[in-house]
Each structure stands twice: as structure tokens, then as C-alpha cells.
A and B are shown apart, each in its own frame.
Chain A
Amino acid sequence: MDINVFKIRRRASHVAFYILAIALFIVFLSPFIVMVTTSFKTLDDAFTVPVKILPREWTFSNYGDAVERVPYWRYMGNTAYITLLSLMGELIVVPLVAYSLAKIRWRGAGIVSGLLMATMMIPYTVTMIPLYRTWHAFGLTGTYVPLIAPHFVGHAYYIIIMRQFMKGIPNSLFEAAKIDGANEFQRYITLGIPLCKPALTTVGIYTFIAAWSDYLAPLIYISSKDRMTLSLGLQQFLNEFTVDWTLLMAAAVIFVLPVVVLFFIFQRNFVEGVATSGLKA
């Protein structure tokens, strides 16, 4: 083959690749674009055909109206409170359990590891009804306890991520501390915790996003309006005959923004979380 033809072909496929990639970028970004641009449109503008991407006339009042229509700041406070307690639970319990599986040689470790995997296969629909009845029997439906308590026993997936990370820490470090007379708990606190900070960050971010966005648990357990979370609050905009999409999109932007900011701060941890979770085994 003529070397020039080869070069041209290469360049053509290069250009084609860029076009494909950029087209996909636009497709994947479009829901974000729709959300943001709609939130700055007037209602008339949003309901005029043909729809323009950018607002014909920019308005900022949707944000103010959205947080007045429903007690949005209150919902945000509720959501933040639940998220914070959930974070606390996972960050205390996950490293404890992971440490016992990665760094202590005990007889039940194998069984617990196996059961961890098994629990991830149990559909939530199976445990949903008995758990609802149990919380109900204790008079705790309507409170945040059923939402937060599960985070205080450690999520199986997070424990697995953390265990894989801890396995990578050399045992010699712990043995040296043992010779110096540190007991198991001291070794855990002074060595284990500081050494697995990156994995703790990953688990923290996953927990934050899961708790912040949780929908099913609030849907089942929270009924009173002033205890609702953002995910339920957002639905309040729908429970009318006509949906005011401009307000709804403004509310959605407020809901989504903390997660997006968090993502850009901790972007690397997301990738590492998948890479270190042993999924590649």
C-alpha cells in the first residue's frame, strides 16, 4: 500500500473518532444542559414550540420560587442530617470489620467473608416488609432511625472495598507494633486507620451519595411533610395537575449540585474505588 494513502486513511479515522467522541459528549451532557437551561427559563418560554436550548429571556426567579413552594431548605437540612449520621456509621463500622477480615487471623473470618458476598445478593424487596413491620412494632416508622440504623452495621460492599485495601498494607508494620507491646485495638487505631485513609475517603463518598440520594427508604418510612428529604421533596412539585417544570428543574439543580461538586473534588477516588475493590480478580 502506498504510504500516503495509509497516512490519509489514518487521519480520516482519527477525525471520525473525534466526531464520534464529541457527539457522545453532547448526548451525555444534554440532561445536564436541559436541567440548567430550563431552570433559567420563564414558564412561557419553556412551553413554546420550537423549544430553544438557551432561554429567550433569562430569569433567576425560579430558584427563589422553588424553595418557597415547598420547604426546600428544611428538606435539605433533613437530608444533610441523615447523610451525616449515615457517614458516621459507615466510617466507624466499615474499617473495624474490614480490619478483622484483613489483619486478624481468626476462625470465623472465612465464614464472614463468604456471608458478605451472599448478603449482596439478597434483594431489598425480600427484607423490606419484615423490616417495616419490625420498625413499626418499635414505633420507629416516621423517624429517621430506619434510614440511619442500617449504616451502623456496615455495608457489605464497602467492607469488601476496605478489606481489599487493608490486605495491601504490609503485615510487618503491624507485627513491629505488636512487638512494641501495642494491643490489637491500639494497632488498629494507630496504624490501621491512618494507613487506609484513601479507602476511607472512597467509602465516605459512596456513603454520602447513597444517603443523599436515597429514595426508597424515605418513601417507605417518612410520611410527615416536614420530615421529608430532598428526594421526596422533589416529587412534591409533581403532585399537582400541571407540573411547573422550570421550578422543578431549579429544585433539581439545588439537589444535584452538592453531589457534582463532591465528584469533582474527589474524582480520583471514584476510579480507585472500582479499581481496588477486587472486582478485577
Chain B
Amino acid sequence: MKTRLTRDDRNGFLFALPWIVGFLLLSIYPLIMSLYYSFTEFSFISDPEWVGLDNFRQLFSDRRFYKSLGNTCFYAFVATPILLLVALLLALIANRRFALRSAARTIFFLPSIIPMVAATMVWIWMFDPTYGYINNFLALFGIEGPAWLINPKTTKWALVMMGSWCTGTSMLTCLAALQDVPRSYYESADLDGANAVQKFFHITIPSVAHVLVYQAILNLINAFQYFTQVYVITTASGGNTSGASGGPENSILMYPLYLFHNAFVYQKMGKASAMAWILMIIVGLLTIVMVKLSNKAVSNAGAE
């Protein structure tokens, strides 16, 4: 079937051309090459050499690979839901009619635009066991704070605290959704004598469910790419002679961090590419599952 291209077809294509070129060169080409590289072995300077499934075999018997995958799963499935709840709480506060509402929006959102390296440095200083503000604050109440970034039991929770401070984008999305809930819903609930908790679970939550699920998908995908904070923390805290640290007992060796070590420190580019493709498949599957769930959540919410 041959149809003539219209002038609109030509114009549309020309206008979109920069992105199409970029898509082919900066997304598709690297994507394919990365898959090829995952079956090869090479460093900065050498050429890729075919090794078949060696990289994958190496990874599946590599304890640090599982460790990093576990750490990232913690961040994705434990930290991320907590952070989303924090964002929702902040949005509820910022949505309430009170004198400090616009201050609330500003203060809760501002941290998420602060350059991550600078923010992470400030947190490292705040987490300092002796001179940090957090433990000094706890000391006022007679609590001896932990060595946040040194004790492998607390490092991940330190990340959760840092993350809670940076939920501004999720907060704004939740806020936009909350503002869309018609006031008449609450008014008729008031007439029926519903209390605040009932209104929250029967009106607020169903009304924002689709946005929460959407934001959860985005946050989950981002969680699998969580890198900068842990890189800065691990390079800042000493004992880093090899240039590749995963924090105390590798407790914050996140998947992308270990991938980065493999690529740019150990110069095992093939192994790193194999890790990248495993990540790609995980993220892809998660996205599909979450999108399916979200369609379900939306239709359920609509049914209520």
C-alpha cells in the first residue's frame, strides 16, 4: 500500500527530526551496543572481545552483585513507599486552608531542587556522630544518637531520612491531585456525619489513588537508578583507597554504584554492561506490572 506523503507529514517529520536523530543516536544505538557489550570483555582502551555468557556467569556467582541488588531492592520496596507516604502527608498539610499554607508549599518543595551533591554534603555533616546537629539535638533529650553513616545498621535509614527531605516533586503531584477532589464530596460526607478518618479513607484516598500509583511507578524506576547520594557518601567517608567503596560492610552499595565501580574503576565494561541489561529488564518488567496495576486501581476507584 503506497500513499503519498502530505505536506503535513513532511513538516511534522522535519519539526520532530532533532529528537528523532537524538533518539536513534543517544538511545537506540547505545541500547543495542550495550546488549552486545554485555557478551564481551573490554576496558577503556581495549576493543570488545566476545566472551559469550561469561559476564552473566560471573555476576551470578558474585556476592557483591547480590548485595547491591538487595540494597537497591530495599530502597525500591521499603524506602520508596515510605517516601511516598511522607509526600502524601506533606501534601495534605500543604492543601489545608491555614495561614501558613503557601509557606508550607515553599518549604516542603525547596529541598528537591537543591543540587544533590551539595545537599548530600550537608547531610553527611549533619549525620556526623560527634559534631553533627542530629546527634547533638538528640543529646538534648538524653538520647545517644547512632553513628549514622558508619554503623551498617543505620546507613540505609540515614538514606531514608535524606530521601524524605527531598520528596518535593511527589508532594506537588499529590497536592495537584488533592486539589482536584471536589469539595462537594466532603460537604455531603459532613452531612452524613462522617469523621475525618472516614473522609480520608473513603474520599481522599480513592480520589488520589491513580496519581499515587503513577507517582509510585516513577519513584520505583528512579529508585533503581539511585546513585549520586551513595556515590558522594562513599567517596566522602574515608577508607577509600581503592576508589570503590560501598559504605560500611557494603551496606549502601547500590546497584548503579556497583555498576559504576565495575565500569569506571575496575574497568570491566562488559560486566558492567551485563549489569545494565539486567537492570533494564527489571525496570521494564516492573513498569509493565505497575502500569497494569494502575489501570486496575483507576477502574476500581471509578467503580466506587
Contacts and interface: CB of A to CB of B under 8 A. Distances in A.
A129 interface: yes
Contacts of A220: 264
Interface of A: 17-18, 20-22, 24-25, 27-32, 34-35, 38, 46-47, 49-51, 53, 93, 96-97, 99-101, 104-109, 112, 115-116, 119, 121-134, 136, 149-150, 152-154, 159, 184-185, 188, 209, 212-213, 215-216, 219-220, 230-231, 234-235, 238, 241, 243, 245, 248-249, 252, 255-256, 259-260, 263, 267, 270-271, 274-275, 279-280
Given A216-B227, A275-B176, A125 B19 contact: no
Nearest to B177: A280
Nearest to A275: B176
B-side interface mostly? helix
Interface of B: 5-16, 18-23, 25-27, 29-31, 33-34, 37, 44, 90, 93, 96, 98, 100, 103-111, 113-119, 121-123, 125-126, 130-133, 136, 139, 165, 169, 172-173, 176-177, 180, 211, 214, 221, 224-225, 227-228, 231-232, 235-236, 238, 256, 259-260, 263-264, 269, 272-273, 275-277, 279-280, 283-284, 287
B15 A99 contact: yes
B121 A123 contact: no
A213 B118 CA distance: 9
A234 B26 CA distance: 29
A31 B16 contact: no
25 contacts: A17-B93, A25-B100, A31-B123, A31-B165, A51-B136, A97-B16, A104-B11, A105-B12, A106-B11, A121-B287, A122-B31, A123-B283, A125-B259, A126-B279, A127-B31, A134-B29, A152-B22, A153-B18, A153-B21, A184-B11, A215-B117, A216-B227, A234-B118, A243-B236, A274-B169
Contact of A17 (B29, B98, B269): B98
B18 A231 contact: no
B93 A255 contact: no
A38 B285 CA distance: 45
Given A25-B103, A129-B272, A105 B19 contact: no
Given A256-B114, A270-B113, 15 more contacts: A18-B98, A21-B98, A93-B18, A101-B16, A125-B275, A127-B27, A129-B30, A129-B272, A154-B18, A212-B115, A220-B264, A245-B131, A248-B125, A274-B169, A274-B173
B276 A104 contact: no
B105 A271 contact: yes
A126 B11 CA distance: 32
Instruction: Give the top 9 A-B pairs by smallest Cβ distance, nearest first.
Output: A153-B22, A106-B12, A100-B15, A213-B115, A130-B30, A130-B33, A127-B30, A104-B12, A51-B136
A279 B26 contact: no
A105 B9 CA distance: 7
Given A112-B19, A215-B116, A130 B279 contact: no
A129 B13 contact: no
Contacts of A209: 113, 115
Contacts of B117: 213, 215, 231, 234-235
A150 B172 contact: no
Given A259-B114, A280-B176, A100 B121 contact: no
A28 B15 contact: no
A238 B236 contact: yes
A106 B9 contact: yes
B18 A31 contact: no
Nearest to A150: B26
A230 B118 CA distance: 10
Given A122-B27, A123-B224, A263-B110, A252 B118 contact: yes
Contact of A38 (B11, B104, B125): B125
B68 to A, nearest CB: 12
A115 B114 CA distance: 30
B236 to A, nearest CB: 5
